[in-house]
C-alpha cells in the first residue's frame, strides 16, 4: 500500500514537471485585447454576428474585420463597451426583432397526416410539409428549440409567439425555418415594404389604402395589449385618431365576417385604441432610425405631407414641412368640421409627429415666399409636393362669382376652420353629393340655418358621400332634393341671392364612373327659395406654384390639375421632386393620402441614400384573385360559428348636437372593444375561423391522433 502511494506521488511529480516544461515550450500567447473584447460580449454564441462563436467574433473585432457593434445579442451597451476597448466610435443601430408572417397555425388545411420526426425541417422534406399553404407554419417548434434567448413559444393556435423583451434579433429562428415565414426585421424595413402578391393578406389588409396589418392590431386589442396595437397601426398610419373618426373604412366592406353576420367594426376598434393612447396623456414611443444627415423638404402640412414627413423622420432623415396656412393638418383641419374631428384631437396627433424631430414652418407659401431653387440652395436633397385640393369646381352659372350669398364648399368649411365669420341665412342650399356637401349642410345647420337642402342630380344610391354621414344628415333634418341639377342663379336688385332654378333629371345609361348618367327633363325648371348657396360639386389642387418657378416648369400636369408622376413612387420628371396625395391623384380619402405619403417617403429614402428608385414587380395592385369569398370551404367553416352582433355605434342624439360643434360619434368602451375584437376571424389568405374551426377542431384532431 505504501509502495503504491510512493509510486503515485513520484508519478505526479514527474507529470507536473513535464507539464511545466510543456507549458513553456507550447505556450500560446493570447492578446489581452481579445480577452477583454470576448469578456465584454454577451457570450450567447448565437451566431447572429456571422461568426461561429463569441471567441471568433472577438478575434475579428480585434483584427478590424468586424465592427464593435457586431454582437446582436448584446445591444447598444455591449457595442459601446467593445468600442471603448478598440478605440472606435460606434453609432446607434436600429433594433431588429423576429416575427412570423403566418396567422393560420392549426387552422391551415392539411394535405396528409405527417407522422415523422417532430421537426419542421424534417417535415418540410416530405412535399414541403403537410400544410396546404406555401406560407403556412408547420408548427413543430423548431424555432422555439433553436432560440438561444428563450424568446419564442408556441402559441395556443399552433404558431410561434415572439417575446420582444427577450428577442435579440440574432436570426437563429429565421435560419432554421424551412418555410421562410420568420423574418428578423427592423421598423425601417417595415416602412419601406409594399404589400406583395405572395403575402398572407386577409381581405381587409388587401383593401386598406394605407396597408395596415389589421388582423394583428385587432388581435392585440382582444388580448388587451393596447400599446402593441398602437405600434402596429403606426407602422403604416400616423393619423390613427383622425382616421378613427373620418375614414370610410373600405376594409369593412369585404370583411369575411359579413358572410355569417356583420362585418367587424374595424374603424371603431382603431378609434378605441387611438383614444386610449390620447387618454394616457403620452404618445406611445415609436422607433426612429439613426440620423442619416439627409435633408428633405415637404410642401404642404396635410395628411399626405405630414405622413411623408413622419415616415422620412422614422427612417432617420431631417425633414422640414412648409405650410401656407396658420395651422398644420390641411384638409383634416380646414375641411372637416369640428363635430366630426375636434381640432384639439388633431393638434395632439400632429404634435406626436413633430415630437419625433420634424420641423414645421407655417404661414409660408411655396411659389411666393420661397421656391424650388431656394430649397436646393438651402441643402434640401429632395422635395415632396403634398398640396391639397383647395380649389372649388365651379357651377359654371352666370353670377356665381358676383351674387352675394354664393360660396364654394371648401371656402365655406375653410372659413369655419379658420374661425372667420360665416354669415348664413335661414334657407341654405348645397349643391353636390360628396362628403364636402354633407359637411357643409350639417355645418350650416349648426350655424343657425332653419332649412338646409342638398340638391343632387342623381339618386341617394349614387351619392359618393359616406353612408353614415348621409344617415346622420337625415337625422339632423337636412332635406335632400334628388334628380335635380342647378340651372340658374336668381338675385334681387341688391345682388343678393333669392332663388336657385333647377332642372329635374332622369337617369340614363351608366357613365365612365359606373353611375347612371343624369339627363335633364325639358321644361322642368323649378325655383327653390334660398338665402345662401354652397357649391360642393368637386375640387382640384392649386398648382399655380409650378408656373412661378423656373425649374418647376419641367413638371408635367394633367387636365384635372394634378401632377404627372409615378403612381407608386411619386417621382416626377425632376428626379428629386416627388408628389403625393391630392396633388397626384386628385381629391381622395385621407387614408389614401396617408398611404401615398408613405410610398413617397420610401422612394425619397431610396433616392437620397443613392439607391435605385423602384417598386417590387410583385407589389399588390388590387385584390388577390380567389382569396376573398369564393373559396369553396369558406361558407362551410363559417356556418359552424355562432352569429354575434356587431358592436353598437354610439352617437349623440340629433337634438343634443345640432346646435353646437360637439363631437357626434362616441368611442366604444374597453369591454365592447375586446368583445368586438374577439369576433375577428384572424384571416389569412386561406385560413379562417380563429374562434371555432381552427383552434378547437384541429386541436382535438391532433390530440386524438
Domain boundary among the residues 59, 75, 93 is at 93
Q: Which three cell numbers stand for residue 510?
A: 351608366
pLDDT of residue 683: 84
13 assigned to some structural domain: no
Please report, for residues 101, 110, 131, 172, 625, the alpha-carbon distance to residue 135 in angstroms, rounded to integers and kept in the order given: 8, 13, 9, 19, 17
Same domain? For 356 and 327 the reply is yes
Can you give the C-alpha Rg of the chain in angstroms? Answer: 32
Domain of residue 268 covers 196-286+631-705
CATH of the domain at 264: 1.10.1060
Report the C-alpha dihedral over residues 223, 224, 228, 230, rounded to 10 degrees.
120
Same domain? For 81 and 140 the reply is no
Please report, for residues 307, 401, 436, 522, the alpha-carbon distance to residue 489 in angstroms, rounded to integers and kept in the order given: 41, 11, 21, 18
Same domain? For 454 and 366 the reply is no
Measured distance CA(345)–CA(364) in Å, rounded? 24
Same domain? For 480 and 522 the reply is yes
621 assigned to some structural domain: no
Same domain? For 41 and 53 the reply is yes
384 assigned to some structural domain: yes
pLDDT tens sequence across 10-38: 777 887 777 777 666 655 556 776 777 77
Domain boundary among the residues 45, 75, 93 is at 93
Same domain? For 40 and 72 the reply is yes
Same domain? For 131 and 223 the reply is no
Same domain? For 184 and 202 the reply is no
pLDDT of residue 22: 64
6 assigned to some structural domain: no
Of residues 270 and 79, the one with the higher pLDDT is 270
User: For residue 485, what are the β-bridge partners?
Assistant: 503
Please report, for residues 51, 68, 77, 84, 168, the alpha-carbon distance to residue 91 in angstroms, rounded to integers and kept in the order given: 21, 10, 11, 12, 18
- Of 646, 665, 682, nearest to 263 by C-alpha is 646
Give 275-334 as a 3 state SS string.
HHHHHHCCCCCCCCCCCCCCEEEEECCCHHHHHHHHHHHHCCCEEEEECCCCCCCCHHHH
Reported pTM: 0.89
Measured distance CA(315)–CA(310) in Å, rounded? 9
pLDDT of residue 6: 77
Kindly report the backbone phi and psi dihedral angles of residue 453, in degrees, each rounded to the nearest multiple of 5, phi listed first: -125, 125
Q: Categorise residue 102: left if φ over 0, alpha if ψ from -120 to 50, beta otherwise.
A: beta
Of residues 698 and 481, the one with the higher pLDDT is 481
Same domain? For 208 and 282 the reply is yes
Measured distance CA(115)–CA(129) in Å, rounded? 11
CATH of the domain at 419: 3.50.50.60
* Tally of domains in the chain: 5
pLDDT of residue 165: 86
CATH of the domain at 105: 3.30.70.20
429 assigned to some structural domain: yes
pLDDT (average), residues 66-76: 69
High-pLDDT (> 90) share of the chain, %:
66
618 assigned to some structural domain: no
Same domain? For 330 and 443 the reply is no
Measured distance CA(702)–CA(694) in Å, rounded? 12
pLDDT (average), residues 244-262: 91
- Which residues 6+ apart lie within 8 Å of 189 measured at CB? none
Contact 683, 215 (CB under 8 A): yes
- Of 395, 407, 398, 399, nearest to 533 by C-alpha is 407
pLDDT of residue 705: 39
Predicted confidence (pLDDT) at residue 252 exceeds the cutoff of 80: yes
Same domain? For 402 and 493 the reply is yes
Domain boundary among the residues 147, 163, 192 is at 192
Predicted confidence (pLDDT) at residue 325 exceeds the cutoff of 60: yes
pLDDT tens sequence across 44-67: 677 767 676 777 777 777 666 666
Look up residue 696 and give its DSSP letter.
I
Give 465-488 as a 3 state SS string.
CCHHHHHHHHHHCCEEECCEEEEE
pLDDT tens sequence across 368-379: 999 999 999 999
Predicted confidence (pLDDT) at residue 628 exceeds the cutoff of 70: no
Of residues 4 and 362, the one with the higher pLDDT is 362
- Class of residue 264 by CB neighbours under 10 A (exposed 0-12, middle 13-18, buried 19+): buried
Same domain? For 426 and 535 the reply is yes
617 assigned to some structural domain: no
High-pLDDT (> 70) share of the chain, %:
88
User: What angle separates helix 266-280 from helix 670-677, to the nearest 10 degrees?
Assistant: 140
pLDDT of residue 16: 72
622 assigned to some structural domain: no
pLDDT of residue 701: 36
Look up residue 195 and give its DSSP letter.
P
Confidence of residue 128 (pLDDT cuts 50, 70, 90): confident
Amino acid at each position: 500500500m505504501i509502495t503504491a502511494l510512493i509510486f503515485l506521488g513520484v508519478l505526479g511529480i514527474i507529470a507536473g514537471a513535464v507539464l511545466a516544461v510543456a507549458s513553456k515550450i507550447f505556450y500560446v500567447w493570447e492578446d489581452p485585447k481579445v480577452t477583454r473584447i470576448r469578456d465584454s460580449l454577451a457570450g450567447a454564441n448565437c451566431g447572429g454576428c456571422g461568426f461561429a462563436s463569441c471567441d471568433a467574433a472577438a478575434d475579428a473585432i480585434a483584427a478590424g474585420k468586424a465592427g464593435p457593434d457586431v454582437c446582436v445579442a448584446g445591444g447598444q451597451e455591449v457595442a459601446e463597451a467593445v468600442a471603448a476597448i478598440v478605440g472606435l466610435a460606434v453609432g446607434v443601430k436600429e433594433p431588429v426583432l423576429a416575427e412570423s408572417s403566418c396567422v393560420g397555425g392549426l387552422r391551415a388545411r392539411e394535405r396528409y397526416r405527417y407522422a415523422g420526426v417532430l421537426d419542421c425541417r424534417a417535415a418540410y422534406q416530405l412535399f414541403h410539409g403537410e400544410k396546404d399553404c406555401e406560407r403556412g407554419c408547420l408548427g413543430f417548434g423548431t424555432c422555439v428549440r433553436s432560440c438561444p434567448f428563450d424568446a419564442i413559444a408556441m402559441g395556443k393556435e399552433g404558431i410561434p409567439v415572439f417575446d420582444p423583451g427577450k428577442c435579440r434579433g440574432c436570426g437563429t429562428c429565421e435560419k432554421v425555418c424551412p418555410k421562410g415565414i420568420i423574418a428578423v426585421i427592423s421598423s425601417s424595413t417595415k416602412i419601406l415594404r409594399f404589400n406583395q402578391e405572395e403575402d398572407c393578406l386577409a381581405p381587409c389588409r388587401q383593401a386598406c389604402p394605407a396597408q395596415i396589418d389589421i388582423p394583428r392590431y385587432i388581435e392585440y386589442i382582444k388580448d388587451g395589449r393596447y400599446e402593441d396595437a398602437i405600434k402596429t397601426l403606426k407602422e403604416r398610419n400616423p393619423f390613427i385618431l383622425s382616421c378613427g373618426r373620418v375614414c370610410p373604412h373600405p376594409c369593412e366592406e369585404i370583411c369575411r365576417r359579413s358572410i355569417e353576420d356583420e362585418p367587424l367594426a374595424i374603424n371603431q376598434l382603431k378609434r378605441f385604441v387611438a383614444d386610449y393612447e390620447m387618454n394616457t396623456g403620452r404618445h406611445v414611443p415609436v422607433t426612429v432610425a439613426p440620423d442619416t444627415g439627409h435633408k428633405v423638404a415637404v410642401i404642404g402640412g396635410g395628411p399626405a405631407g405630414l405622413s411623408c414627413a413622419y415616415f422620412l423622420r422614422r427612417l432617420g432623415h431631417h425633414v422640414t414641412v412648409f405650410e401656407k396656412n396658420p395651422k398644420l393638418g390641411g384638409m383634416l383641419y380646414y375641411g372637416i368640421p369640428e363635430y366630426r374631428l375636434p381640432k384639439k384631437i388633431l393638434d395632439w396627433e400632429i404634435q406626436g409627429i413633430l415630437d419625433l424631430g420634424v420641423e414645421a414652418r407655417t404661414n409660408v407659401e411655396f411659389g411666393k415666399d420661397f421656391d424650388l431653387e431656394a430649397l436646393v440652395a438651402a441643402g434640401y436633397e429632395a422635395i415632396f409636393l403634398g398640396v391639397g385640393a383647395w380649389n372649388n369646381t365651379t357651377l359654371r352659372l352666370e353670377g356665381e362669382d358676383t351674387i352675394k350669398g354664393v360660396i364654394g364648399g371648401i371656402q365655406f368649411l375653410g372659413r369655419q376652420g379658420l374661425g372667420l365669420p360665416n354669415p348664413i341665412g335661414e334657407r341654405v342650399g348645397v349643391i353636390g353629393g360628396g362628403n364636402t356637401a354633407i359637411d357643409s349642410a350639417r355645418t350650416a345647420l349648426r350655424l343657425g340655418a332653419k332649412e338646409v337642402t342638398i340638391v343632387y342630380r342623381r339618386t341617394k344610391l349614387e351619392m359618393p358621400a359616406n353612408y353614415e354621414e348621409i344617415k346622420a344628415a337625415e337625422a339632423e333634418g337636412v332635406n335632400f332634393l334628388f334628380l335635380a341639377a342647378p340651372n340658374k342663379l336668381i338675385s334681387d336688385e341688391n345682388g343678393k341671392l333669392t332663388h336657385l332654378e333647377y332642372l329635374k333629371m332622369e337617369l340614363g345609361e351608366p357613365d365612365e364612373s359606373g353611375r347612371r348618367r343624369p339627363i335633364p327633363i325639358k321644361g322642368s325648371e323649378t325655383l327653390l327659395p334660398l338665402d345662401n348657396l354652397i357649391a360642393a360639386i368637386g375640387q382640384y389642387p392649386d398648382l399655380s406654384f409650378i408656373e412661378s418657378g423656373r425649374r418647376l416648369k419641367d413638371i408635367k400636369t394633367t387636365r384635372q390639375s394634378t401632377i404627372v408622376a409615378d403612381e407608386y413612387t411619386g417621382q416626377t420628371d425632376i428626379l428629386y421632386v416627388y408628389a403625393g396625395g391630392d396633388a397626384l391623384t386628385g381629391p381622395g380619402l385621407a387614408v389614401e393620402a396617408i398611404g401615398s405619403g408613405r410610398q413617397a417617403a420610401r422612394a425619397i429614402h431610396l433616392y437620397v441614400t443613392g439607391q435605385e428608385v423602384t417598386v417590387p414587380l410583385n407589389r399588390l395592385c388590387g385584390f388577390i384573385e380567389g382569396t376573398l369569398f369564393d373559396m369553396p370551404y369558406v361558407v362551410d367553416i363559417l356556418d359552424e360559428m355562432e352569429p354575434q352582433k356587431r358592436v353598437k355605434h354610439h352617437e349623440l342624439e340629433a337634438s343634443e348636437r345640432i346646435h353646437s360643434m360637439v363631437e357626434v360619434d362616441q368611442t366604444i368602451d374597453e369591454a365592447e372593444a375586446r368583445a368586438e375584437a374577439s369576433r375577428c376571424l384572424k384571416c389569412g389568405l386561406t385560413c379562417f375561423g380563429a374562434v371555432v374551426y381552427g383552434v378547437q377542431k384541429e386541436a382535438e384532431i391532433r390530440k386524438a391522433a
